[in-house]
Amino acid sequence: MKGERKPRAVLVAGCIVGLVSGAGLGVVWWRLAPRVTLVVQPQGSYPAQFQPHEYLSADVTFAALAAVAGIAVAIALANMRREHLVSVLVSSLFSGVIGSAGMWWVGIRLGAVDVAGLSASSTSAVTIQGPLHVTMPGVLLVWPLVSAIVVTVLALGDWTVEIRMRARSQS
């Protein structure tokens, strides 16, 4: 067919889109996610107060951004090659893994704080915003899982349309 893309082109596009959007969303995650306030002393560091909501908020922010990216990328890849959803599924899974890893890497690099170095060089207690990190590693799987769900819904929609068309043609 004219205009039909090869599965390899969808895979390459998915990897590129995952890498670029993951890096961009890493910057967004770094800007949006709250950080834990730490007290750094020469003996070490500890949270300024009991603040589990800060850790949870950073993870939820990551998961929300990853879910939106999973939906958007899977739909975009399905528009590239709707006639063969297996290649879209594989591509969106690769895109999700690469995008989540890129988002995590950029976010923690931008939000990095050398707590050990600051602790070694300080002579009195200093209050700082702690480093950004993911405390629940499962949120790294949100993007690929949401992408897989979107492709599954698209496949089920195509399947039901095909069943209805067959039923109409037989009657």
The helix/strand/coil state of 69 is helix
Per the structure, the count of domains in the chain is: 1
Assess if residue 81 is contained within a domain.
yes
Residue matched to tokens 């950080």: 35
The answer to whether residues 97 and 18 touch, using CB atoms and an 8 Å cutoff, is yes
The answer to whether residues 74 and 92 touch, using CB atoms and an 8 Å cutoff, is yes
Assess if residue 85 is contained within a domain.
yes
Assess if residue 35 is contained within a domain.
yes
Assess if residue 1 is contained within a domain.
no
Assess if residue 95 is contained within a domain.
yes
- Please state, in angstroms and rounded to a whole number, the distance separating the CA atoms of residues 17 and 92: 10
Assess if residue 109 is contained within a domain.
yes
pLDDT in tens, the chain (171 residues): 445 667 788 889 899 999 999 999 999 999 999 888 888 887 777 677 776 788 899 999 999 999 999 999 999 999 888 778 888 999 999 999 999 999 999 999 998 887 777 777 877 887 878 888 899 999 999 999 999 999 999 999 989 988 999 988 887
Domain span including residue 151: 7-170
- Please state, in angstroms and rounded to a whole number, the distance separating the CA atoms of residues 21 and 170: 46
Assess if residue 141 is contained within a domain.
yes
Element spanning 108, H or E: helix 85-110
